[in-house]
């Protein structure tokens, strides 16, 4: 009953693979709370790292991440940029392909969840 929900929207530029934030709405008093970031996939790590940056800028000191599938490249980036963030995952897949997708992975989670398809 005391859980609060904040929302961050980040897309990935498919050419540069860099995160592009488009929305953020944080509940008050982040410094008094532990943030749990839930994301279906951790690929390059750019979006997760950007989300952690936003949370820390807004006063959050304790962050954890829960992802279904992760790639070693994303885990390595998070260990380098945010070694204090614990990451929980169900699966670590082999690697990323040249487009930054997890191999074998699940496909584009955003397209599947939101019904979008980028050409």
Q: Are 78 and 84 in contact (CB under 8 A)?
A: no
Q: Are 14 and 51 in contact (CB under 8 A)?
A: no
From the list 57, 84, 111, 116, the catalytic residue is 111
Question: What is each CA distance from 83 to 12, 20, 99, 105, in whole angstroms?
Answer: 22, 22, 26, 24
Q: Are 68 and 93 in contact (CB under 8 A)?
A: no
pTM of the model: 0.87
From the list 12, 39, 51, 93, the catalytic residue is 12
**4 CB neighbour count, 10 Å cutoff:** 11
pLDDT tens column, 54-82? 999 999 999 999 999 999 999 999 999 99
Catalytic residue status for 12: yes
Q: Are 22 and 11 in contact (CB under 8 A)?
A: yes
Catalytic residue status for 16: yes
From the list 33, 44, 51, 108, the catalytic residue is 108
pLDDT tens column, 14-48? 899 899 999 999 988 899 889 999 999 999 999 99
Q: Are 26 and 58 in contact (CB under 8 A)?
A: yes
Res. 107: pLDDT tops 90: no
Instruction: Spell out the domains of the chain, with CATH numbers in brackets.
Output: 7-98 (3.40.50.2020)
């Amino acid at each position: 009953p005391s859980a609060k929900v904040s929302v961050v929207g980040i897309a990935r530029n498919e050419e540069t693979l860099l995160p592009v934030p488009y929305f953020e709405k944080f509940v008050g008093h982040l410094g008094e709370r532990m943030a749990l970031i839930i994301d279906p996939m951790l690929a390059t790590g750019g979006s997760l790292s950007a989300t952690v940056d936003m949370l820390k800028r807004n006063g959050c000191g304790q962050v954890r991440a829960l992802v279904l599938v992760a790639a070693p490249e994303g885990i390595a980036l998070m260990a380098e940029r945010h070694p204090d963030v614990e990451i929980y995952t169900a699966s670590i897949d082999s690697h990323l392909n040249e487009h930054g997708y997890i191999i074998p992975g699940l496909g584009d989670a955003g397209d599947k969840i939101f019904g979008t398809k980028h050409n």
